[in-house]
Structure 1
Amino acid sequence: MGDEVMTGGPARPSSGRAVRVALLDDHEVLLDSVSSWLREHAPDLDVVLRATSWLELVHSPAFPTDLVLLDVQPQEPVSLGARIRSCRAAGAVVVVLTGLDDPELRRRALEAGAAAFLSKSRPILDLVAAVREVLGGAPQQEWRPLPAEALRRPRLSLGEESALRLYASGLSTADVAAEMHVQFETAKTYLRRVREKYARVDRPASRRSELIQRALEDGYLQ
């Protein structure tokens, strides 16, 4: 199933200020990566609140925000629909970002008032474009899109892609090897090749933080 975006929801602030954004996800790596990427590449979307649980979100003095990017988090004691309705009642636009491709979940989220139901596997440029569409678009002078050549995507083998997904999700190289049922040196080689391929397209990935950024930009984080 594809992503779904609804129009006609609350518009972005009309004052020209950046949209105040809250991120709710139990994946710390994803929170860090999305926040860092938006700060550098999308100044019209200002992350003022990051939370790993529903209670942390609603108890924050920064809540409510203009926009809430909300993970499904099925383990939460409060249902997805209730969380969406609460955010909407507080005046926030809600966009659901999820790795779960469930038509029933999508239906319930949109019926509860979510403006969009988007897959985390999409490159972040696509996600940001969808968010801006929901918010009614951002004035051109408020953001600077990356040049196309900055996001040239290297061709990874299946093994390299799997290793990147696992490593970027927070696993150690040893854990990546265990998850892939390969030797440690094999997993290490996969990750080395990933770094080399990104370097060849002028997208540095020598440090772990850079590799996570590349995985985020190209839709490998779940």
Structure 2
Amino acid sequence: MSIRVVLVDDDALVRSGLKMMLSGAEGIEVVGEADDGRGVLAALDRHRPDVVLMDIRMPQVDGIEATRLVREQPDAPAVVVLTTFDADELVLRALQAGAAGFLLKDTPPAEIVRAIETVHAGDAMLSPTVARRLISLVAGDGEAAARADRARTRLELLSAREHEVALAVGEGRANAEIATELHMSVATVKAHVSKLLSKLGVENRVQIALLVQSAGKDYN
């Protein structure tokens, strides 16, 4: 069964290019489009997508608010934010709103396809490079100290093994990498990640990563 994708971008040329590119990918079907975040809920109702590719800068309802709206829906699809990465803070806010990751608009087609497959499988698209940039962003604002205290308090709820898995997620590692590094099966890693979501009160692994990053570079 194909992965159903909805494109949300105010630039018709971007939507057309993405649709053309994804039409050649096996196992992916673009089932709908919206030209602004205000149309995203109607697109969900009409097309029932598995993944939404969401522009972050739109004139009426931006990608942050639209992501929040999507993730509040029952059986919500995964959201991947599209960005030029010239505004890290907006990307951070979108991830906090529930996005499963993000893509640069000039990402090679094969990587876009892999990203869609990854988030549809329940994994995150947070590469180590992205993790480092977000760590710098989180550490650089005026609320960093208070955020670190709150994050560390929540992370104290974890067992030693859950702590190790959380740190690996915070470094942007995929389940298979974590399994190899910590000498456990992928299924066991997935079980630990599910426990982390429940214990930490977050909805996806990207938010686990953000919490670990907020705890500060000395957290270990």
Instruction: Calculate the TM-score normalised by the size of structure 2.
Output: 0.49
